[in-house]
Structure 1
Amino acid sequence: PSRGTVVLASAEAPYLGIQIALDFSIMQEMVEELDMSPLTSRKARARGAFVLDLNPQLLDCTQRAINLLEIPEAIPRLYPGIMREVCYWLLTGPEGSQISEIMMMANGQNQKIVQAIHTLRDKLRETVQVEGLAVAANMSQATFHRQFKSITGITPLAYQKQLRLHEARRVLIFRGATVESAARDVGYASVSQFSREYSRMFGRSPRRDAQSWKSTPAAAVHE
């Protein structure tokens, strides 16, 4: 799960973004055609997300996909071809091995962990029992913890805490929420506990963090 926020945009210089959902079956076919073997080194495990610059070929695919929005009847006939191109250029690019590894994560136990991550996100404000997540994933608690940490780098409860604190920071900065309401909105019963954990994660108290961000030039543009 991830969130993004545009902080620099205006009528004169608008921000344009596009999200393309990769077709797993096409990506899998391309992985097999390119004979890409999964990574074996634990140090080279796939990251959950990363940033890369689009090359001219990917930009061309993106532009053609956008153009198809003007011709809806052509989408089912032409878009699969564009998707094949997108998959090819991603897999043959500098992050191709990482993308291939992410595709491998869509099966087996890893997929069950991904489903648990979505549960933590969807039930952000609720107290989620790890035992219940393990049962839903059909794993023992020990195996579930090990698999979860291998993918995210942290435990399930620590992961949910990070989700809560990031969401609280978002509502503090962009919605002008009070510390008390932000804590309550993300499931904290104790404001003092929320403030302590927020300070440990972001390096300053919720109130000071929000005030500091609002004084930056980026905030002025956003407002």
Structure 2
Amino acid sequence: MQGLEDLRATLCKQIARLGGHSPFYTAIDGMIMLQAKTDRHPTHLLHQPALCIVVQGEKWTAFGERKLTYRAGQAMVVGLEMPGTSQVVEGDDASPYLSLVLTLDQAIMREVCETLPMLPPPPEDNGAFVVDLDAPLLACAARAVSLLDNPDAIPLLYPGIMREVGYWLLTGPHGGALAQRITGTGPQRRMAGAVHALRTQFAEPVRISDLAAIAGLSPSAFHRHFRALTGMTPLTFQKQLRLMEARRLMLTGNISAESAAFAVGYASASQFSREYARLFGAPPRRDIVRLQPPDAGVNLREKG
């Protein structure tokens, strides 16, 4: 596919110019370039609404019990903030995994959606899905990356390119699903509000009845819709957010595992250590030592 080859050449040129290590943050806010070999361990992060284009190689991302696999010529579209687990499964020194991530601006997406006829409702209520890339989307991505050669043009031209991206996504086979997630009104927006409340208040005790009230649903209906949307229960969603934030605090703040546990809402350090090891594959101290550079030093006071 010529469009994919053009995007690969443009991406490789910019990565070589930037130098350093992946991820490559660019002069365009919301544009990230990735280069990697097959991962030994999965990575965990909070996904933002974004178009994640695979230019070379293959990767999977799991949101709870839902696992999405996407390879060169495909992209994962994420419609709302969700914790997820990812792993590169195809990429080596000669042919590394290459990816371009474009954050979806919700204001631009709503603007585009308002100009389109009413989109059909999606067959499934998923917060993320995989699309096959066609020539228009690949051309938009290549032009967006090429703007890095002309920084003065970015403020003027990049929003227009992202409007094109929004148009092709919203008029594609998953347009109805994306519209509900990013530009939805009524029940969809209330459900998104409940997800946002859980996202911003993850360190506090969660009451399903309170979240259900935000969504305008009964607790049982809310639980069912939340799981269909995110691939996990509200409590699992909250637990992953807590553990990811605790990991970030230990990596960047050099605080003990016990302090991190209490900071994110755990009342029991032992429960925190067990659940941390279950998600990340190792107890806190061992995990942080593995993640930090050899010369960084780790000063965590807690064993585990």
After TM superposition, the score normalised by the length of structure 1 is 0.70
Is 1:168–1:182's contact at 8 Å kept on the other side of the alignment?
A: yes
Aligned to 2:206: 128
Aligned pairs for 1:1-223 within 5 A: 13=20, 15-16=25-26, 17-19=28-30, 21-22=105-106, 23-29=108-114, 31-32=116-117, 37-40=120-123, 42=124, 45-48=125-128, 55-61=138-144, 63=147, 67=152, 82-91=161-170, 96-105=172-181, 106-215=184-293
Higher relative contact order (CA 8 A, sep 6+): 1
Give me the whole-angstrom Cα distance separating, in 2, the residues matched to 1:216 and 1:145.
Answer: 43
Is 2:140–2:161's contact at 8 Å kept on the other side of the alignment?
A: no
Is 1:26–1:87's contact at 8 Å kept on the other side of the alignment?
A: no
Deviation at 1:67, TM superposition (A): 3.7
**AA matched with 2:286:** R
SS at match of 1:97: coil
Aligned to 1:8: none
SS at match of 2:25: coil
More strand by share: 2
Deviation at 1:143, TM superposition (A): 1.1
Is 1:38–1:100's contact at 8 Å kept on the other side of the alignment?
A: yes
Give me the whole-angstrom Cα distance separating, in 2, the residues matched to 1:118 and 1:69.
Answer: 30
Is 1:31–1:100's contact at 8 Å kept on the other side of the alignment?
A: no
SS at match of 1:209: helix
SS at match of 2:270: helix
The alignment-based identity, stated in percent, is 38
Give me the whole-angstrom Cα distance separating, in 2, the residues matched to 1:31 and 1:100.
Answer: 11
Give me the whole-angstrom Cα distance separating, in 2, the residues matched to 1:119 and 1:66.
Answer: 37
Is 1:124–1:186's contact at 8 Å kept on the other side of the alignment?
A: yes
Deviations 1:96-151 (A, max 9, x none): 43354121232332322211111112112211211111123222111111111111
Is 1:58–1:89's contact at 8 Å kept on the other side of the alignment?
A: no
Give me the whole-angstrom Cα distance separating, in 1, the residues matched to 2:158 and 2:280.
Answer: 43
After TM superposition, the score normalised by the length of structure 2 is 0.54
Deviation at 1:208, TM superposition (A): 0.7
Give me the whole-angstrom Cα distance separating, in 2, the residues matched to 1:111 and 1:29.
Answer: 15
Deviation at 1:196, TM superposition (A): 0.7
Question: Would the alpha carbon gap of residues 47 and 183 (structure 1) be closer, same or farther in structure 2, given more than 3 Å must change?
Answer: same
Is 2:223–2:233's contact at 8 Å kept on the other side of the alignment?
A: yes
More helix by share: 1
Structure 1: 4+ residue segments shifted above 6 A: 49-54
**AA matched with 1:87:** G
Unaligned ranges ≥5, structure 1: 1-10
Unaligned ranges ≥5, structure 2: 1-17, 31-103, 298-304
**AA matched with 1:176:** N
RMSD: 3.6
**AA matched with 2:263:** D
SS at match of 2:249: helix
Question: Would the alpha carbon gap of residues 18 and 79 (structure 1) be closer, same or farther in structure 2, given more than 3 Å must change?
Answer: closer
Give me the whole-angstrom Cα distance separating, in 2, the residues matched to 1:46 and 1:97.
Answer: 14
**AA matched with 2:191:** I
